Amino acid sequence: MRVLVTGAYGFVGNAVVRRLAEARHDVIAMTHRPSGASLSSAPVASTVHADLLSPEQLRKAVHDVDAVCHLAALTRVRESFERPDDYEAVNHGGTVALLDACAAESVRAGRPLRIVQASTAAVYGVPERQPIDEQTPPRPTSPYGKTKLAADEELIRRTTAGAVGAVILRAFNISGAVASVGDADLTRIIPKAVAVAAGQASHVDVNGDGSAVRDFVHVDDLARAYVLALQACEPGTHAVYNVGATGASVSNIVAATERITGRPVPVIHHPPKQEPATLLSDTARIRRELEWKPERSSLDEIVADAWEAVTAAHS
């Protein structure tokens, strides 16, 4: 298939593009970065420069494509409280604009499009029942989660018209690296821990004793889920899948980083915050229906790959 990937040159996009190309799809990479900007060496058939907030550019971007993997978004939970209007405009409004363009392309081409949408566990909020399955009522607690849920709901509504078939992948905490492209966002615990080990940051801040457990998945395992989801898309239908793999605490991550890198990772403890002790993913549905399972998501492999990406970038 000819697959448009929005956010193709980001951390997750890089991994998804490589897996799609490996599966013999022709990838059209969409980026809002200006022409001439430094882009990764991901194996794309072509690159289109377009912005989610430009309907005209989106119509050109989706021309003659068979499917879209929609990854482009603003993704920082804490930042979303400071910039709620921006998050609404990009995450919800941008998705609406993209779906409008896809609907118009479906009419022009006389065939439905397939869409795989990047969603997030943040839509669930902090449910008491663990692990979290797809039947859990969404109760997002941040503008980020709310705008991603609104995007999911918009996509689900569009499938009833038959112009698209949709799969929504709700990923938990994504880390690791593919082809030495890791997550550069130091607001996240694993990138921060390896940055400290590399001497690029002084310490890791920990609220409480570091025992809170979160679910992590290797970015390459997530990318394989996109390939499987693309194959499973059926016109006029939608499906939602959680993608997670390994539970780990902040203390586990710090210890794994020190062990793998052979370097100290100083920690500064702060008073505990009101937060759930555990947030874990129930992945029974994606394992059963798409026959997906994690292959690279042990904590040690995730940290080792994140570390390799940091050291490669500064070698």
Cβ burial 143-181 (10 Å sphere, 16+ → b, else e): bbbbbbbbbbebbbebbeeebbbbbbbbbbbbbbbbbbb
Of residues 1, 71, 75, 89, the one with CA closest to residue 30: 71
The two tokens of residue 137 are 């009522």
Burial (CB count <10 Å: 0-12, 13-18, 19+), residue 315: exposed
Does residue 124 carry a catalytic annotation? no
Calpha distance 70→92 (Å, rounded)? 12
Secondary structure (DSSP) of 81-145 = HH-HHHHIIIIIIHHHHHHHHHHHHHHHHTS-EEEEEEEEGGGG---SSSSB-TTSPP---SHHH
**Residue 291 one-letter amino acid:** E
Whether 116 contacts 68, CB under 8 Å: yes
Residues 6+ apart with CB under 8 A from 291: 228
Calpha distance 225→287 (Å, rounded)? 10
Q: Which of 124, 144, 226, 241 is catalytic?
A: 144
- Cα 247 to chain centroid, rounded: 18
DSSP class of 281: B
Calpha distance 164→160 (Å, rounded)? 8
Rounded to 5°, the CA angle 230-236-242 comes to: 45
Alpha helix positions (H), the chain? 11-22, 55-61, 77-82, 84-87, 94-109, 143-159, 189-197, 219-232, 250-261, 284-289, 299-313
Residues forming the active site: 144
